[in-house]
Structure 1
Amino acid sequence: MSAGLTRPGPPSSGLPSPGVLDALDALESEAIHVFREVAGEFDRPVILFSGGKDSTLLVHLAVKAFAPAPVPFPLLHVDTGHNYPEVIEFRDAIVERLGLRLEVAHVQDWIDDGRLTERADGTRNPLQTVPLLDSIVEKKFDAVFGGGRRDEERARAKERVMSLRDAFGRWDPRKQRPELWNLYNGRHAAGEHVRVFPISNWTELDVWRYIQRENIELPSIYYSHQREVFRRDGMWLAEGPWGGPRGNESLELRTVRYRTVGDGSCTGAVESTATTLDEVIAEVTASRLTERGATRADDRMSEAAMEDRKREGYF
């Protein structure tokens, strides 16, 4: 059932031992339940997929939820054009291997036709909102799966598993429904849609332990490697089309890995020697910072940076 996303090795059934339901089994069961609920309640769901660990986990869970049938909805990637090549290659390989349909909204297309303007700082993460909302409207998606977790950042901590968005894609806390006993209310009016977070109750450590248990393949940059990086705002950033180094910044060859992946202009690496899953898990266990707090410059723009973007329709 899960062979499509696993590395070569002994296959995992993904099923708990008779009479045993551990923490990972419970989280998996909840996520699969959410996927099946959405498939039965909505007409045009889509999974947001970037090739990062959380969205790869979503695809793995979706494969399990519907096996042996194929995943019944497409993937959508809002591509800033500033992604790491290893991640894009991995994204395309997974899509081809599993026979999935991938929709790509290129931010560059919105810049070229004037719907967006390039930012002076070169960061394109904040520019993802308009292409995302335009794609949702154009394709008539009524449920959008995301990989948000409640341990990442404060704006995510208050989210529901099913989060209603209005006809403009905006989040309004007054319109969110209570969720009791895994009962999810997907009711929405024409033009509205629902963001769905099947791994809302997972932590970063849960994700890594599940990846280890299921032998899930990830982009190589999640593991320690040597890369030329420069220091900015306390983070190690890589050289790329987004600009840098500049001024007194200089490239240094460092042994690093990435805890999260995204727009290269604002996604930093951490110094690490963790080349195996056991070593990554030990590192994450010892960390006192979330991956976004440690390595995402866009979340540091203000105290309410992600909250503002959520209200606008990005998250």
Structure 2
Amino acid sequence: MRAPRVNAVTTAPTAPTTEPPVQAAGSHRLSQLDVLESEAIHIIREVVAEFERPVLMFSGGKDSVVVLNLAAKAFWPGKVPFGLLHVDTGHNFPEVLAFRDATVARLGLRLTVAKVQDYIDDGRLQERADGTRNPLQTLPLLDGIAAGRHDAVFGGARRDEDKARAKERILSLRDEFGQWDPRNQRPELWNLYNGRHTVGQHVRAFPISNWTEYNVWRYIEREGIELPALYYAHEREVFRRDGMWRAIGPVSEPRPDEAVETRTVRYRTVGDMSCTGAVDSDAASVAAVVREVALSTITERGATRADDRISEAAMEDRKKDGYF
């Protein structure tokens, strides 16, 4: 019997059909999306079975929304058996935070928010000269993991996003300090995942590691998953900086030599407003975004994330320190 489709962010699960799907005679092959979905659900179930206190990093961005949708399917008709964790930098897009909170309330889940601003206020962290807070997430993240005694942390990272993430396994061991050693990666042959760890260590789990941006959007289209509106084309006041369109906001102000324009743009990724750029786009629907992504030759992080341009190894350096 085909598993029911669960829209994890908009509606309650529908009852499973009692009739098998109609297939062409002799055809029993799963689609690519079915294979990826099956693998991700298997990973989520394995982690929940093997670890005591898993948690899901949930920002309201498309990848974390997809992972939450997969978790809802994995345990349907039961409730998702773990809570959510978000590191709020204080520079997030307001509409994404509103979507995050509405989703959590709708599903009746528990969300823990670690705020970078609290760490700045009490002196544990200091503002960076470049104004971005994305690299400041590491300490609140590690403290949140320790406070919740989480031994496994789900994330929506994918290998196609960045070369550092391409090195990482689906189950990635972090040491007692939350650090990642890219030279000490465990083999994952035949879909066997090694979650062995000692006291103080934890594992980062990436159920959609093998997905691409195109796979994610095709899955969003197939499942009818709702996302924050800024993923779709809309008019917004922006200014050009570092080859990207930056949104105007309290933490993202143009310099005197940067002209403000009203353009039709959308966001491929929704990190901090202070370091995330928009792209020119008229893709106002999921189907249009799928077509646009299919033609893209640059990853979403490469095209729109200024924090990844700090150095050639910016992402890898942050991951070694404990960043996701």
Scaled by the length of structure 2, what TM-score is found?
A: 0.93
Which letter does structure 2 place at the counterpart of 1:77? Answer: H
Q: 1:134 to 1:200 in 2, by over 3 A?
A: same
Percentage identity across paired residues of the two chains: 68
**Are residues 1:2 and 2:6 paired?**
yes
Which letter does structure 1 place at the counterpart of 2:9? Answer: L
Give CA deviations for 1:184-231 in whole Å, capped at 9, x if unaligned. 000000000000000000000000000000000000000000000000
Cα distance in 2 between the residues matched to 1:227 and 1:21: 41
**Are residues 1:203 and 2:212 paired?**
yes
Partner of 2:163: 154
Q: CA deviation at 1:3?
A: 3.5
Partner of 2:134: 125
Q: CA deviation at 1:6?
A: 4.0
- Verify the 8 A CA contact 1:230 1:252 in the aligned structure 2: yes
Partner of 2:32: 23
**Are residues 1:291 and 2:300 paired?**
yes
Q: CA deviation at 1:17?
A: 6.1
Cα distance in 2 between the residues matched to 1:110 and 1:295: 27
Alignment of 1:255-294 (within 5 A): 255-294=264-303
Partner-residue secondary structure (3-state), 1:140: coil
Q: 1:16 to 1:160 in 2, by over 3 A?
A: farther
Cα distance in 1 between the residues matched to 2:192 and 2:30: 21
Q: 1:239 to 1:179 in 2, by over 3 A?
A: same
Cα distance in 2 between the residues matched to 1:7 and 1:52: 18
Partner of 1:72: 81
Q: 1:279 to 1:7 in 2, by over 3 A?
A: farther
Alignment of 1:132-281 (within 5 A): 132-281=141-290
Q: CA deviation at 1:16?
A: 7.1
Which letter does structure 2 place at the counterpart of 1:197? Answer: F
Structure 1 residues not aligned, in runs of 5+: none
Cα distance in 1 between the residues matched to 2:121 and 2:318: 23
Q: 1:27 to 1:13 in 2, by over 3 A?
A: farther
Cα distance in 1 between the residues matched to 2:21 and 2:189: 25
Runs of 4+ in 1 over 3 A off after TM superposition: 10-18
Partner of 2:125: 116
- Verify the 8 A CA contact 1:242 1:264 in the aligned structure 2: yes
- Verify the 8 A CA contact 2:167 2:182 in the aligned structure 1: no
Which letter does structure 1 place at the counterpart of 2:6? Answer: S
Partner-residue secondary structure (3-state), 2:117: helix
- Verify the 8 A CA contact 2:6 2:73 in the aligned structure 1: yes
Which letter does structure 2 place at the counterpart of 1:5? Answer: V
Scaled by the length of structure 1, what TM-score is found?
A: 0.96
Give CA deviations for 1:268-305 in whole Å, capped at 9, x if unaligned. 00010000111101110111100000000001111100
Q: CA deviation at 1:253?
A: 0.5
Partner-residue secondary structure (3-state), 2:138: helix
Q: 1:43 to 1:32 in 2, by over 3 A?
A: same
Partner-residue secondary structure (3-state), 2:109: coil
**RMSD (Å) for aligned C-alpha atoms:** 1.8
Q: CA deviation at 1:241?
A: 2.3
Give CA deviations for 1:246-270 in whole Å, capped at 9, x if unaligned. 1301211110000000111100000
- Verify the 8 A CA contact 2:252 2:273 in the aligned structure 1: no
Cα distance in 2 between the residues matched to 1:114 and 1:59: 34
Partner of 1:301: 310
Give CA deviations for 1:147-175 in whole Å, capped at 9, x if unaligned. 11111110011110000000000001233
Q: CA deviation at 1:4?
A: 3.7
Q: Between Structure 1 and Structure 2, how many residues are aligned?
A: 314
- Verify the 8 A CA contact 1:16 1:25 in the aligned structure 2: no
Partner of 2:67: 58
Partner of 1:92: 101
Q: CA deviation at 1:119?
A: 1.1
Q: CA deviation at 1:13?
A: 6.0
Query: Which range moved further: 144-153 or 171-180?
Result: 171-180
Structure 2 residues not aligned, in runs of 5+: none
